[in-house]
Amino acid sequence: MSTASVRARSSRTRNAVESEGEQTRPPRAARVRKQAQILLEAEQQFARNGFEGTSLDSIAAALGVSRQNVLYYYASKDELYVAVLDNVLENWLESMDVMAKGDDPESAISRYIAAKLRFSQERPSGTTVFTREVMAGAPRYGDKLAERVMPKLRADVAAFDRWARKGLIERVDFTHLMFVLWSATQAYADLAPQFALFMGKEKLDVVDYSAAHEVLTNMILRSLRKPQR
């Protein structure tokens, strides 16, 4: 058989396999739903047990599917873990343009804190996974943090600097101010159960997050208020 014939036969075989795969592949909507279910369960387990304490078997068992079914969507635990962090980061970054694009510091800071607290309230397991990774030195996610978060941080610091140059706020170390903002709002995800316990509640409610927003916003704005002359 000639080389050309072998190549043609190989090509026909490959096309047939790909065609069969396309016919047996679940509809896109079903795939998206299944991936979302896997991501949610993985996020919750990574938050509870950490990366090392979570397995594909435990995720599959919780979903009532086989390990191979999970591997159909994610080739390894590492890939699934990164996918969870990607999803968390995407949601987090959505709220990080508020200050960079704002002209009024009071409004921009208030909206930013509200967005971060809302994320902590609605996505506590996601923020916990993210915090665990960062506190471990970001061994599996350091490159993406540098690539995607650092430009956002620089943009927010530049916004503060712009407001300071206009005389709208007092000049402080704006990078450390951002760290304070992050840690204070993050606490309402990581420490929410403790806060609720100390307040004699089962869990924090919308009133508590509203109160936190008011306190944090006032604290930040007071630290930036220019002294009266």
Between these two residues, 7 and 99, which has the higher pLDDT value?
99
What whole-number distance in Å separates Cα of residue 73 and Cα of residue 35?
Answer: 7
Residue 4 has pLDDT above 80, yes or no: no
Given a contact cutoff of 8 angstroms between Cβ atoms, the answer to whether 181 and 116 are in contact is yes
| Domains of the chain, earliest start first | 3-75 (1.10.10.60), 87-224 (1.10.357.10)
Which tens digit of pLDDT belongs to each residue from 70-120? 999 999 999 999 999 999 999 888 767 788 888 899 999 999 999 999 999
pLDDT tens by residue, 27-69: 588 888 999 999 999 999 999 999 999 999 999 999 999 999 9
Residue 212: which of 102, 132, 115, 99 has the closest Cα?
115
- This prediction has a pTM of 0.79
- For the segment 211-221, the average pLDDT, to the nearest whole number, is 97
Angle at the Cα of 154 from the Cα atoms of 149 and 157, rounded to 5 degrees: 125
Q: Which is nearest to 172 in space by CA: 224, 217, 219? A: 224
**Per-residue model confidence (pLDDT) at position 10:** 45
**In terms of Cα–Cα distance, which of 81, 115, 98 is closest to 216?**
115
Phi/psi-derived region of residue 226, left when phi > 0, alpha when psi is between -120 and 50, beta in every other case: beta
